[in-house]
Each structure stands twice: as structure tokens, then as C-alpha cells.
Amino acid sequence: MAMGKASLPTCARVATGLQGLVGSVVLVFWAIWSAWGVFPNSLFASGIFFFPALALCSVAVIGLSKGRMYGWVMGLLGNVAAAAVLLFSGGLFGILPAAVLICLLLPNVRDFYVRDYYR
């Protein structure tokens, strides 16, 4: 059954928006760290750490907005990676992905995305 964005419950919309916010924060810190040193080398070095977290967060936003379980799983993985990267580079900004991780694990959000898995 295909689900449009309009049919998502409020908890799923909030989780999608928060996941997009985490991806944006990771992108901003990647830009800051890549501009910190000598341009090509700092971009590649920071890409090793920031790109996987940003990629997982981006796939999570797509999956969460479509109401798919892979988006929820990628959200869990992306928030763990983003929290690790942001705790290292952004200090207190690492709390945001941890809070979104808790949001994804709330029973109503988890039950919405995992509903078809047990059938």
C-alpha cells in the first residue's frame, strides 16, 4: 500500500522534520570543518567522517517521509553516526541527534514504521 506524505501521522511528520534538521546540522558542521584548513585536503579529510553520517540522514529523511521501515532503521543508524561526529566536532550539538534517536524510539513512532514487519 503506497502512502503519501499527507497520510503520515503527526508523530511521523515530526520525526521526519527532526531527521532533516539533524542532516542540516551535520552539513553545516561539515562545511565549517572543510573550510578550516587547506581546502582540498580538509574537504577530503572531513568527508571521511561527515559524509557517512550525512548520507544515512538523507536516506532516513526520504524513507521516513514515505512511511517506510528502511527510513526508520536508517534514522537510527544515522542519528548514532551523527551523534558521534557532532560530539567530536560540535560539542553540545551532539545532543540533537541523541534526542531525535529517542524520538524515533517512542512507541507510537516505532509502531508506525515497524507495523508491517511482524505480519
Spell out the alpha helix ranges (H) of 1-119: 10-36, 39-66, 69-89, 95-104, 107-114
CA distances from 72 to 27, 35, 37, 82, 97 (A): 20, 32, 35, 15, 14
Q: Which pLDDT belongs to residue 16?
A: 93
Q: Which pLDDT belongs to residue 55?
A: 95
Band of the pLDDT at 98, cuts 50, 70, 90? very high
Mean pLDDT of 82-87: 92
Residue 117 DSSP symbol: T
Q: Is the pLDDT of residue 43 over 90?
A: no
Mean pLDDT of 19-30: 93
d(CA 45, CA 62): 27
- Report the amino acid identity of residue 87: L
3-state secondary structure of 93: helix
Residues in the chain: 119
